[in-house]
Amino acid sequence: MNIEQLAAELESAAPHDEQSLEQFRIRFLGSKNVLKDLYAAIKDIPNEQKRSYGLQVNALKERAEQKFLEAKTKLTTVNTGIKKEDLSKPSADTKVGAHHPLSLIRSEILSIFKRIGFEISEGPEIEDDWHNFSALNFPPEHPARDMQDTFFIEKGTNELALRTHTSSVQVRVMEQQEPPIRTISPGRVYRNEAISARAHCFFHQVEGLYIDQDVSFADLKQTLLYFAQELFGAQTQIRLRPSYFPFTEPSAEVDISCTLCASKGCNVCKHTGWLEIMGCGMVDPNVLEACGIDSKVYSGFAFGMGLERIAQLKFRVTDLRLYSENDMRFLRQFKSGMA
């Protein structure tokens, strides 16, 4: 191939991508490029023509280099801003979210009771008087029925309220299901209270109910001991103090040995070595009868706890308002181990 033919081929070449540019480089500028044959032919050129011939071959090489650089620059400009993936690099840090602390505690509590046969039941947050009060043995003069304790809703002739406890769900379960009944009821409840570090107008409860033949207070105590040791550790102990609730008789408050000071006494347990976590008791026969269950055949126990209180002990949260203020500095503390 002579100089004129190679020059024509060089000018007609139009590298448009990296592959065609590399092919152009190999043909005209590579270690075995076509110009080398032209240089090798100089020895056969008459002496008076060698200078002119050499200048033409050099000009052809310079043109090839120029065209290669122009094409390379153009491709680089077109690809500017396109980030190529480097598969050898470590994967980028993925920002991980977190479950809310109350969701973590709720899941853990439900998991514990599901392992011993409790089923989850849920119900409406707006309840009528029967399910929220009357069926649970609240007398007409009970202070919970007053406006200063409960958020009432006026709707026609029915007296409705935001439920004050998830015991209303248990009433619905007893009305619809024959014993044996073993249910756990999580949910949000409402009380007409001033908001402070220790109280809120809404909070979350988990209440349990077990009804069958020959259910005793010993069954209740053993169930709660199992729960406490599963949640707070195998060394945890419980104690029951006499108390009063309209829907249980006898009733008790449940304390656990302080997990923060190993019952030696600290500011959290007020140097008593014990922490209150819930209320409990045997289901009052009046409640069973109101729900259509024969109290002479069946007996049962019930218990209830506030999730905020349990989370406070588990995570050492000192201000209940933090649970509902969406402060990311607070919530990020619970993302450890989340995927």
The per-residue b/e assignment along 301-326, b for 16 or more CB within 10 angstroms, e otherwise, is bbbbbbbbbbbbbbeebeebebbeee
**pLDDT 10s digits, 225-281:** 999 999 999 999 999 999 999 999 999 999 999 877 777 887 778 888 899 999 999
Q: What is the mean pLDDT of the chain?
A: 86
The answer to whether 203 and 189 have CB atoms below 8 angstroms apart is yes
Q: Is the peptide bond before 180 cis (omega within 30 degrees of 0)?
A: yes
Two tokens, residue 300: 């049962």
In the predicted model, what is the mean pLDDT of residues 135-141?
Answer: 85
Two tokens, residue 177: 């299901």
Helices (H), 30-100: 35-40, 47-78
Residue 280 is predicted with a pLDDT of 96
Residue 249 is predicted with a pLDDT of 93
pTM given for the model: 0.67
